[in-house]
Structures are given as C-alpha cells and as structure tokens.
Amino acid sequence: MINTNALEEIKSATEQIDPWTSEAYGQQVFDLAPFGVALASLDGQFVRVNATLCRMMNYTREELLACKLNDIIFPNDLPHNLVLFKRLRAGEIAHYQIDTRLIHKAGALIFAILYVELICDVHERLRHATIH
C-alpha cells in the first residue's frame, strides 16, 4: 500500500529544495506566458487556457473551456490540422507545428503558428495535448 502522506512529504521537500520544478512554478509559467497556451483533452476539448489566449481570441476563460480546438480553427484549415493530430496520436510524429487561421470571437481571422504535442501520464498513457 502506498503511503500518500509520505509521497506528499517527499514532493513538498523536493519543491522546497528546487522551486524551479515545483507545480506552482509550472502553473505560473503556463498562466503568465506571453503567448497563448492551452491544454486540451485528446478529443480537442479545452481543459485549461491561459489569459493571453483568452485576450488574443476575445473569449472569457469559461467560453474557451466550453470549446474544442476545432471550434476555433478556420474550416478550410481544419482537414490538415486533423491529419497531423491523427499522426501525432498514432505515434508517427512526436509533435507538429502548423501555420493556421483561428477564428476570433468577433469573426476576424487570426493567423497563428500552432505547436502541438502530447502529454503522457506516469504510466505512459496519453492524456492531453498542449497547444501553444
């Protein structure tokens, strides 16, 4: 049986020794990035978005979290994005970068370069995609 208290104590001690690896530091890097960053489920549903992405797209955090990535990609650009994402999920590529157009809340197009990679859990199971 795993002693969760002991694990928490080890994690806390590690964070005190090296604050650069702490979870709080990672959250700040995500939240304060000067470019848009999102975490999405494997079906494209936004799970987490930073304030920069919200401002860039003119959505509230709640509005973006109700969207999937496909909802804000210009329809003509979607097929190529989907092909690359399928290749990523199949393990054919480790990540991809694509020039694409995003749809601003007001309907204007935003030209963007998306960098997409997958995140695995400690058991090497695919969990999320990061988009920045």
The token pair that represents 107 in the structure block: 């309907």
Comparing CA positions, the residue from 70, 80, 23, 30 lying closest to residue 46 is 70
The token pair that represents 72 in the structure block: 């804000």
Helix (H, G, I), strand (E, B) or coil at 28: helix
Cα 40–chain centre separation: 5
Query: Which amino acid, one-letter code, is at 95?
Result: H
| 8, HSE (Cβ side, Cα atoms, 13 Å) | 3
Say if domain 35-131 classifies as CATH 3.30.450.20: yes
Please report the pLDDT score of residue 20 as a whole number: 53
Is the model's pLDDT at 98 over the cut of 50?
yes
pLDDT one-digit tens code per residue, 31-66: 777 789 998 988 899 999 999 999 999 999 999 999
- Boundaries of every domain in the chain: 1-32, 35-131
Please report the pLDDT score of residue 110 as a whole number: 96
Is the model's pLDDT at 2 over the cut of 70?
no
Comparing CA positions, the residue from 34, 116, 35, 32 lying closest to residue 73 is 116
Q: For residue 85, with 0-12 CB atoms within 10 Å meaning exposed, 13-18 middle and 19 or more buried, which class applies?
A: buried
Phi, psi of 60 (to 5 degrees): -75, 165
